[in-house]
Amino acid sequence: MRSALLSLHGFTMNGPSLRRHLGELEPRLSKHVDLVFPNAPHTASEASVLALLQRMGGTRSAPPQLEWWNASDDGRVYQGWEATRESLRTEVLRHPAAGLLGFSQGAAVAAAVAALACRGAFPPLSFVVLVAGFAPRSAELLPLLDEPLTIPSLHIWGQDDAFAKHGPGLASKFSSLTRRIVTWKGGHSVPASGDAADAIVEFVRNHAADVAAFPPGRGPGDAGSGTGGAPPAGHSDEGA
């Protein structure tokens, strides 16, 4: 069974814009998985878009500008999380034993969904790739991250990224036995080439291949198993 990689875009982005963002990484990944680029279910406000541009710089994403949730000022409430959770549940049921790739806010969403899956409250997932992300800190999601998650995980962040300070905290939510951490000389983006991009392809290839050994509906990161295949050696932030 060929695995799917659900790729979750960042704040004020959309599925097609993340696909373009992957650049030459996309055809390399497509050799091993079916890439799926869902849109977040909520439209970001104009004020949120402008605030992000002021804080992070860069250029405005092509419309629509979407968000997976809108965080309260203190980060304790993620407005829109329930609709996001259910839309992703539908996507995962469509693609059994999928892996997740999340960028920025999409990485936090992927971590939240992985936590639900590991606790038996979401369909099974095979692995997660978290790029330039941060740990969810809403009151609803924090308890799900009390114990390290055993799903295989790859954590990527750029050394020149303003979000790099959040990378270790997010990685700490995952078991050291099933995670890999890679940094690269870049900013707030998905590395499309070089060693970090090679690490993403290697990780996805290895764990997507593992899916073939499991029956439909189950995968190496299956909830409740307590195990996960070991990876190869080697406005507020919540709204970005």
Note the pLDDT of residue 173.
98
Q: Domain spans of the chain?
A: 4-239
Angle at 192 between CA 9 and CA 84, to 5 degrees: 10
State how far the alpha carbon of 113 is from the alpha carbons of 107, 153, 177, in Å. 10, 13, 20
Asked whether 11 and 239 are in contact (CB, 8 A), the reply is yes
Question: pLDDT tens across 106-121, in order?
Answer: 999 999 999 999 999 9
Which pLDDT value is given to residue 217?
Answer: 44
Beta strands in the chain (DSSP E): 4-8, 34-36, 42-43, 66-67, 70-71, 78-79, 99-103, 128-131, 153-158, 179-184
> For position 58, what pLDDT does the model report?
76
Cβ pair 208, 33 in contact under 8 A = yes
pLDDT at 67: 98
- Paired tokens of 43: 């439209």
Q: What's the confidence (pLDDT) of residue 219?
A: 47
Residue 221 confidence (pLDDT): 45
* Topology given in CATH for the domain delimited by 4-239: Rossmann fold (3.40.50)
pLDDT beneath 70, residues of the chain: 209-240
Q: What is the pTM of this model?
A: 0.88
